[in-house]
Structure 1
């Protein structure tokens, strides 16, 4: 979660290293791919420190975002804590035009490679009380420039800040299902100029070693997800996402893998 909210760095005084690999729309060549790695640890009772690296690649476009995360814990009661976080870093953005095929004998001088670096900062807050949490964050506050296609011509566009609001609650089951915990959660994403996107997720934890569940996204996407605790420190997860939108029928599925190590 500290990929989108720096307040998660060092939360619950746990040191965690996580890596994810997401390959979107496997039926389309050069479709978006994302690799990410995050680290978080506590520095005493109130401070947390972390680091995130996110690499996105689509066709000839590549962007790598690196940041340091800092969090501060404020105790509200015996069971409730508030975490505040700040994220500081920047992204390198590249467009490799050598990956383009043209019909010209000579190279087109308009197809020059693009390479920029954009510094950025982000903020976040997290409220935790027992089995419940609420998270609000803007991981990148500053607008960043990138290339875009404008009526067949390459131009420079600006990325707007994304706002993430999420929450969840762990519900232990009773009786014969006492080894089961139901984990419903939701995440709302907002960016200017685009429709709201809401993820509704439900996971069922079995004996603290296995989780199985699903997700529904309001832009007509579905996913089946599972995680397994391989050892006390190692967790593996996999998500298989599908779209019900007709225009993405040939795009097929999206796969995402998670590998997490806890110290």
Structure 2
């Protein structure tokens, strides 16, 4: 039974990977983690912020995809921002870590409007360790060779910010990257294409007896040639500047309930409970995401 379960789990992961193979890491709390995809965000509003998140996908499947992220951004003065980002993805025998250094520069457009430009430089380590596979052959299978690669990369981004409005456009990985694929039964390396991210949001203070509330709608669009467009639509309601509750809908047939709480002036905690409407993922259960953010 254990072998049957493992085979079913691997089949599910491979099927899902075929659908999502051309999509980079997806984060429900993208608005709190924007410099993961756009280097122009480091040092925005002259702030120093460190953010971390853990996303565990499909809790009903052993060794399902897991994403760990860390980002840091600070203002250096003279309109220059500096930061770093780390994205670590792990799925069964496949692991990859993307590390970058980010810089931004601010142009003052008016008393309330600024434009930021950013550049991201780093690289991605990619590893497939096939020794973790269980086979029925007494001898090693040459089709199950391990893969180790390193891919340097560059990214660019721009941000327009005016008061409670922001519009973001970025390509975090301009150069093609390599990953494993199944080629006629053999493990090989294929090339993925750059992704384009377009995001925007606006904070709407409510009036009258609801003056302590702020509605925060936002959206994140992801595009890569050869794959369906993915769009996140999110709405959060802020209560007394200390608590937010809301939800997200993703066109990849997923939706989430989300909440954040400010435990102190500097520390923010968030949790997202995401579910899929795809029938093939019904047995995979939910996805959990935890957000931790500290403002210096």
Correspondence for 2:290 among 238, 257, 263? 257
Secondary structure, aligned partner of 1:247 = helix
Write the distance in 2 (CA, Å) between the matches of 1:261 and 1:2.
15
Higher strand content, 1 or 2: 1
Write the distance in 2 (CA, Å) between the matches of 1:230 and 1:257.
14
Q: Which residue of 2 aligns with 1:20?
A: 53
Correspondence for 1:44 among 77, 82, 85? 77
Higher helix content, 1 or 2: 2
**Structure 1, gaps ≥5 residues long:** none
Give a deviation string over 1:20-39, Cα, whole Å, max 9, x none: 00001111121110001000
Q: Which residue of 1 aligns with 2:219?
A: 186
RMSD: 0.9
Do 1:94 and 1:114's aligned partners in 2 also have CA atoms closer than 8 Å? yes
Task: Report the TM-score when normalising by structure 1.
Answer: 0.98
Write the distance in 2 (CA, Å) between the matches of 1:107 and 1:156.
20
Give a deviation string over 1:14-67, Cα, whole Å, max 9, x none: 100000000011111211100010000001040000000110001100000000
- Post-superposition offset of 1:69: 0.3
**Structure 2, gaps ≥5 residues long:** 1-33
Correspondence for 1:225 among 229, 238, 258? 258
Write the distance in 2 (CA, Å) between the matches of 1:97 and 1:77.
56
Does 2:38 correspond to 1:5?
yes
Write the distance in 2 (CA, Å) between the matches of 1:210 and 1:149.
46
Write the distance in 2 (CA, Å) between the matches of 1:50 and 1:81.
19
Write the distance in 2 (CA, Å) between the matches of 1:112 and 1:185.
43
Correspondence for 2:175 among 125, 137, 142? 142
What count of residue pairs does the alignment treat as equivalent?
Answer: 263
Q: Which residue of 1 aligns with 2:5?
A: none
- Post-superposition offset of 1:151: 4.5
Q: How does 1:100-249 map to 2 (within 5 A)?
A: 100-249=133-282
Write the distance in 1 (CA, Å) between the matches of 2:66 and 2:181.
18
Give a deviation string over 1:180-231, Cα, whole Å, max 9, x none: 0000001110011111111110000000000000001112110000000000
- Post-superposition offset of 1:247: 1.2
Task: Report the TM-score when normalising by structure 2.
Answer: 0.87
Write the distance in 2 (CA, Å) between the matches of 1:78 and 1:207.
27
